[in-house]
Amino acid sequence: MDEAEYADRIAIIDRGSIVALDTPDALKRVVGADTVELTTADDALAAIRLSDAGYRVSQSAENLIVFAQDGETQVPRLIEVVGVPVSKVHVHRPTLDDVFLHFTGRQIREDHTDRAMAMPMRMRVMARRH
């Protein structure tokens, strides 16, 4: 998938049919917002404050997950809204692996036939770069 990041357009094929065709950035936007993981001194209170401020929030055993467009620029605002000490922040932008999962319902994995096909493709991509 690394080579695909630099492509003009990507087609995602599932069971022989094209299920998505667009630029890498456009496909990532379809998946949705960035996720910002926050660990705070009081996750329950932080979740309430974030929800009241209009953010979509889910809570796991270890942290809060906030869904936000352009998550990196939202971090200062999120910290301000929670109003309690924040000990951890991690921003995750959708990847092409997330896009593939979104459109096909499964993760990309290589089996023996995929590897046999992938190696010549990698060689062709690398040959074009040089």
- To the question of domain 33-88 being in CATH 3.40.50, the answer is no
pLDDT of 10 > 60? The answer is yes
- Which residue intervals of the chain are DSSP H helices? 24-31, 43-52, 71-82, 96-104, 112-129
Does the predicted model carry a pTM greater than 0.75? Answer: no
pLDDT of residue 1: 60
Amino acid identity, position 21 = L
Kindly report the average pLDDT of the chain as a whole number: 82
In the chain, domain spans: 3-30+95-129, 33-88
What count of other Cβ atoms lies within 10 Å of the Cβ of residue 32?
13
- When comparing pLDDT for 49 and 25, which is higher? 49
Provide the token pair at 56.
Answer: 């979509």
Whether the pLDDT of residue 55 is over 80: the answer is: yes
